[in-house]
């Protein structure tokens, strides 16, 4: 029966065009019940769920008996006539004339109501859940749309290394690894290598994994995450902010056009997403952010960094993503150019998502003067020898340039309306979690 069969995606046959026609589908048992001589089997595939009616008069007594006790997640194949049935999921069902069990499932360990730690321990099985399936489809579209934006705007994709010899965002969050007879580190960011590439390609971007050994146990921190980064010669901070907002708006528009069904299944309110497809986004300076927070009763002083709690308060003031710019230099990295009008400030920017989600992009204009960069490296306690090659970029034809990094999982978390970033990646890695 399997030979020469045309297998359909479940989504494709959920249509009046197939009523009365023979269709063949395959997948995994999502739910099942047996009433009298009929088994009602809901089959889950990558594109949806369809009900299959297995009648002992057509398919035999034995298969109905087996289906009465079969475990969830058994894999199956079936063929039969498609019938319209408003009470069935999707409004259609298959009346099987042939049904085969491919792989049995015994006592599937996830039955509903389990706690977070149990589900994380069984992530390799929980990843089959409908919620995570729909999130992964949204993430796929986020990656696709991000790539499309850069390709359509004539940026070059490059492939920076993951193993590095020096820190980008601070030594305290580095993951050391043995590299032959030396110590290397997992990359925190591709930024420094992207900066090297702008001297030949001018506008470059990359999509890589980044690693940060942060102790934070917040709903938006991962130790391993996907990092979409861009760097461009001749761009000042405002130029790069325009790229950042155009990129996010492009991605959100793409999701609204191509993933509306997934958003509906997740129960996502689309209002704020729809507000976010038209840049420019609002801009406030760090000074203004501090004033807003103090008026809201937040205990914060000028010079303090903005954490998750402070960002959450600020996001409630906006109904779309917004920028914060011109941070105190002490709370920003050594590579950020200082504001020529006030050298206490760095020409850096964060793009925050509304609804309490906070930072999704961090970027800046980069320091392009050799001596100023060297002094900043020393000020922040780094060894200039570790950055010799990076300093070389300022010795041989330095140019103004800017860049940013976007956290893919944070963007997915906001777009999909998730409660925790762990659900924005198949196998989350954070403090205390490396299995499976």
Q: How far apart are CA 21 and CA 80, in angstroms?
A: 8
pLDDT at residue 116, rounded to an integer: 97
Which domains are seen in the chain, by residue range?
A: 10-103 (2.40.50.140), 120-424 (3.30.930.10)
pLDDT at residue 214, rounded to an integer: 85
Task: Encode pLDDT of 339-351 as tens digits.
Answer: 999 999 999 999 9
Which residues on adjacent β-strands are paired with residue 38?
Answer: 35, 55
Intra-chain end-to-end CA distance of the chain, in Å: 37
3-state DSSP assignment of residue 124: helix
83-100: average pLDDT: 96
pLDDT at residue 218, rounded to an integer: 85
pLDDT at residue 166, rounded to an integer: 78
Task: Encode pLDDT of 113-170 as tens digits.
Answer: 999 999 999 999 999 999 999 999 999 999 999 999 999 999 999 999 999 987 777 7
> Considering the chain, what percentage of its residues have pLDDT values greater than 70?
99
Q: CA 376: distance to chain centroid?
A: 33
Q: How far apart are CA 409 and CA 223, in angstroms?
A: 12
Asked if residue 206 has pLDDT above 80, the reply is yes
- DSSP label of 355: T
Q: What is the 3-state secondary structure (H, E, C) of 141-195?
A: HHHHHHHHHHHHCCCEECCCCCEECCCCCCHHHCCEEEECCEEEEECCCCHHHHH
Q: How far apart are CA 86 and CA 101, in angstroms?
A: 27
| Cα within 13 Å of Cα(384), Cβ side | 12
Contact between 404 and 229 under an 8 Å Cβ cutoff? The reply is: yes
Nearest to 124 by CA among 432, 435, 347: 435
* Average pLDDT score, the chain: 96
Residues 390-422 as b or e (16 or more Cβ within 10 Å = b): beebbeeebebbbbbbbbbbbbbbbbbbbeebb
In this structure, the number of other CB atoms found within 10 A of the CB of residue 335 comes to 24
pLDDT at residue 1, rounded to an integer: 63
334-359: average pLDDT: 98
Nearest to 325 by CA among 230, 229, 246, 402: 402
Residue 223 tokens, joined: 């130790």
Q: CA 16: distance to chain centroid?
A: 35
């Amino acid at each position: 029966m399997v030979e020469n069969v045309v297998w359909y995606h479940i989504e494709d046959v959920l249509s009046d065009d197939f009523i009365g026609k023979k269709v063949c589908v395959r997948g995994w048992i999502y739910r099942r019940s047996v009433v009298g001589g009929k088994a009602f089997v809901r089959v889950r595939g990558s594109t949806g769920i369809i009900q299959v009616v297995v009648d002992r008069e057509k398919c035999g007594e034995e298969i109905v008996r087996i289906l009465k006790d079969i475990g969830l997640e058994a894999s199956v194949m079936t063929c039969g006539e498609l019938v319209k049935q408003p009470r069935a999921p999707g409004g259609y069902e298959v009346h099987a004339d042939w049904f085969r069990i491919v792989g049995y499932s015994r006592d599937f360990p996830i039955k509903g109501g389990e706690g977070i730690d149990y589900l994380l321990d069984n992530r390799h099985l929980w990843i089959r859940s409908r919620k995570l399936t729909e999130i992964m489809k949204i993430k796929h579209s986020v990656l696709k749309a991000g790539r499309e934006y850069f390709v359509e705007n004539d940026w070059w994709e490059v492939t920076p290394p993951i193993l590095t010899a020096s820190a980008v965002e601070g030594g305290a969050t580095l993951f050391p690894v043995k590299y032959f007879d030396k110590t290397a580190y997992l990359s925190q960011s591709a930024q420094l290598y992207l900066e090297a590439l702008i001297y030949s390609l001018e506008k470059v971007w990359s999509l890589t994994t980044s690693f940060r050994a942060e102790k934070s146990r917040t709903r938006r921190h991962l130790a391993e995450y996907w990092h979409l980064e861009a760097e461009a010669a001749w761009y000042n901070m405002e130029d790069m902010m325009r790229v950042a907002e155009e990129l996010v708006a492009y991605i959100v528009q793409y999701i609204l056009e191509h993933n509306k069904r997934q958003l509906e299944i997740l129960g996502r309110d689309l209002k704020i997403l729809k507000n976010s497809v038209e840049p420019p986004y609002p801009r406030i300076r760090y000074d203004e952010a501090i004033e807003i927070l103090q008026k809201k009763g937040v205990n914060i002083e000028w010079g303090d960094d903005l954490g998750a709690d402070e960002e959450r308060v600020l996001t409630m003031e906006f109904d779309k993503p917004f920028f914060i710019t011109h941070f105190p230099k002490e709370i920003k990295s050594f590579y950020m150019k200082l504001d020529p009008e006030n050298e206490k400030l760095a020409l850096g920017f964060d793009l925050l998502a509304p609804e309490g989600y906070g930072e999704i992009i961090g970027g800046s204009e980069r320091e392009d003067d050799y001596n100023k960069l060297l002094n900043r490296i020393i000020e922040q306690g780094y060894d200039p020898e570790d950055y010799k090659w990076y300093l070389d970029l300022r010795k041989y034809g330095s140019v103004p340039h800017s860049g940013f990094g976007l956290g893919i999982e944070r963007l997915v978390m906001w777009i999909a309306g998730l409660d925790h970033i762990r659900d924005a990646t198949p196998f989350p890695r954070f403090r205390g979690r490396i299995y499976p």
